[in-house]
């Protein structure tokens, strides 16, 4: 049997794990190099951002006609990917639990590549619409499966540090290919087909490489493959399998799994056989429990509203329609607007570096709240400048560049905060047995903005920035007042953080305690003694620092 109290070592406890845990931030990454490298690799997916600049290319406009020039149709041309992503996210919960997080990523890559091929070979709007919907299925699935996979591989002290490698270099690909054949009537079809095709490169690398990556240890425990889970934890932590820290983390995972399993057996004894019908009904009731169970509904609300506010900061409006936005701010010429759009990508990429360093030291809430208020301020300033000079940018070029600078500052604010951190929150707050399903519902609210943005820019102008500014501010308030801090909390300790223990039935409390004792995670007096020793150590450290 893998792990357990019968290892002959000292009693194991959650408090002891915290005392043994490594550093966070950069130091934590160095101590967990394998986890970090796998997270970076798994975050490869595709250069999703290429389409924003392709929209403004002369030959693409000529080929697609009013699908690009009509603001309503242009909105749907962008939003069809988000619609596909929404469907993809909802489907991924089932596949992540059934196939594994690892093979779900592979399946999403295959779907993504099919969609990209259809887009690249497109002869007209129907091909682009269809290709982008299929691509969206893959994008949505990856957007949920990858954070879930990364979160379940990482120890609590560096779980937030594994930021997402995004498509910030895609703008520069568009900027280069924009010159193929010229930027006007002579422009070649290759100018937009090449960047669309290049989306395949990172996707294929991910698809091939994921086959050599480990399974999630939490998924393995869920499948009864305990020895394999223990070996994965051992390799990821670079510690022997019988090391105290590895044993504690393994037992925490197993305790949570056993609690969910025994609770399921108690609530739904009629659906425990392995038949398809019973498993389908059990899965249905798992989804249903997310809505009818008040404790779980709160987690769904936190996940869904976090992703909702992430999108309504206006980030996709900036990414998809940046060339149009910069032209509306007074930058003339497609090449200049593409160049300004590239700066957005650089700003977002560089801003992720502080997130890597501090997210597990500062915490999720300060990062998200500060980022939301910074983005809100940028939106309001751009709105003011646009309202004053929207019909006279040519004679007020400095005001136009100032507005662009605040768009870039917005990109910085998003890059260090809501870009990586919103996904971290969604990936870490759900119990093991419903984590995939919970993430699928929470993440689905992330794909809702693209269709309305062109019409907003056309009809309400600077009001678009006021609108997104208000939602950015509301998002910061939501995190500040309603979302608990999850820094350094193990995925199995989220039960207590979200207040579930206060509402659990007595039998559930007894069941959880019995499981912990059975596994050796709780021994009378051990946690209290560890807390006392930890307090003494902290007091001594404070005395040394003051001296």
d(CA 209, CA 169): 21
Q: What is the pLDDT of residue 523?
A: 44
Exposure class string for 504-523: b at 16+ Cβ within 10 A, else e: beeebeebbeebbeebbbbe
Q: What is the pLDDT of residue 399?
A: 84
Q: What is the pLDDT of residue 39?
A: 64
Tokens of 472: 């950015």
Q: What is the pLDDT of residue 237?
A: 80
Q: What is the pLDDT of residue 7?
A: 39
Q: Contact, 293 vs 430, CB < 8 A? A: no
Spell out, as residue ranges, where the chain has pLDDT lower than 50.
1, 3-11, 162-167, 501-505, 523-547
Q: Contact, 68 vs 105, CB < 8 A? A: no
The gap from C-alpha 378 to its chain's centroid, in whole angstroms, comes to: 23
Residue among 172, 474, 519 at smallest CA distance from 311? 474
d(CA 144, CA 422): 12
Residue among 302, 443, 444, 306 at smallest CA distance from 369? 306
Residues 6+ apart with CB under 8 A from 377: 469
How far does the chain reach from its first CA to its final CA, in angstroms?
A: 49
Cα within 13 Å of Cα(109), Cβ side: 24
Cα within 13 Å of Cα(454), Cβ side: 22
Q: What is the pLDDT of residue 538?
A: 42
Q: What is the pLDDT of residue 109?
A: 93
């Amino acid at each position: 049997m893998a792990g357990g109290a019968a290892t002959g070592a000292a009693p194991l406890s959650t408090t002891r794990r915290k005392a043994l845990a490594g550093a966070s931030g950069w130091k934590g990454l160095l101590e967990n190099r394998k986890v970090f490298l796998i997270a970076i690799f798994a975050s490869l997916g595709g250069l999703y951002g290429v389409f924003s600049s392709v929209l403004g290319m002369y030959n693409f406009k000529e080929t697609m006609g009013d699908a690009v020039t009509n603001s309503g149709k242009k909105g749907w041309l962008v939003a069809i990917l988000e619609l596909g992503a929404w469907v993809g996210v909802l489907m991924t919960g089932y596949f992540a639990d059934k196939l594994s997080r690892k093979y779900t990523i592979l399946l999403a890559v295959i779907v993504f590549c099919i969609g990209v091929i259809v887009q690249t070979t497109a002869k007209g709007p129907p091909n682009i619409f269809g290709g982008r919907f299929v691509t969206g299925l893959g994008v949505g699935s990856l957007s949920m499966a990858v954070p879930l996979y990364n979160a379940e591989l990482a120890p609590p002290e560096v779980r937030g540090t594994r930021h997402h490698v995004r498509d910030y270099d895609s703008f520069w690909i568009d900027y280069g290919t924009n010159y193929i054949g010229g930027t006007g009537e002579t422009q070649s079809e290759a100018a937009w087909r090449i960047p669309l095709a290049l989306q395949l490169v990172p996707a294929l690398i991910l698809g091939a490489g994921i086959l050599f990556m480990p399974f999630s240890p939490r998924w393995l425990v869920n499948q009864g493959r305990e020895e394999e889970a223990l070996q994965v934890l051992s390799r990821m932590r670079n510690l022997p399998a019988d090391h105290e820290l590895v044993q504690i983390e393994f037992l925490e995972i197993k305790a949570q799994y056993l609690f969910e399993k025994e609770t399921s057996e108690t609530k739904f004894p009629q659906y425990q056989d392995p038949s398809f019908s019973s498993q389908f009904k059990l899965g249905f009731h798992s989804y249903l429990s997310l809505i009818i169970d008040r404790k779980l509904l709160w987690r769904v609300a936190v996940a869904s509203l976090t992703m909702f506010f992430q999108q309504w900061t206006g980030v996709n409006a900036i990414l998809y329609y940046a060339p149009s936005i910069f032209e509306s701010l007074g930058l003339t010429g497609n090449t200049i607007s593409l160049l300004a759009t590239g700066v957005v990508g650089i700003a977002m990429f560089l801003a992720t570096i502080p997130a890597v360093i501090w997210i597990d030291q500062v915490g999720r809430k300060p990062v998200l709240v500060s980022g939301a208020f910074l983005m809100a301020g940028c939106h309001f300033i751009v709105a003011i400048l646009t309202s004053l000079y929207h019909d006279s940018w040519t004679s007020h070029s400095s005001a136009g560049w100032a507005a662009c600078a605040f768009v870039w500052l917005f990109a910085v604010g998003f890059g260090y905060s809501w870009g990586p951190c919103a996904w971290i929150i969604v990936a870490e707050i759900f119990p093991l047995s419903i984590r995939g399903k919970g993430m699928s519902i929470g993440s689905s609210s992330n794909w809702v903005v693209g269709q309305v943005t062109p019409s907003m820019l056309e009809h309400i102008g600077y009001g678009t920035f006021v609108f997104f500014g208000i939602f950015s501010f509301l998002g910061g308030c939501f995190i500040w007042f309603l979302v608990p801090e999850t820094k350094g909390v193990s995925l199995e300790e989220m039960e207590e953080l979200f207040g579930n223990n206060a509402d659990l039935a007595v039998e559930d409390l007894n069941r959880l305690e019995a499981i912990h004792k059975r596994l050796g995670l709780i021994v009378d007096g051990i946690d209290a003694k560890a807390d006392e020793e930890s307090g003494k150590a902290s007091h001594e450290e404070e005395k040394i620092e003051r001296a």
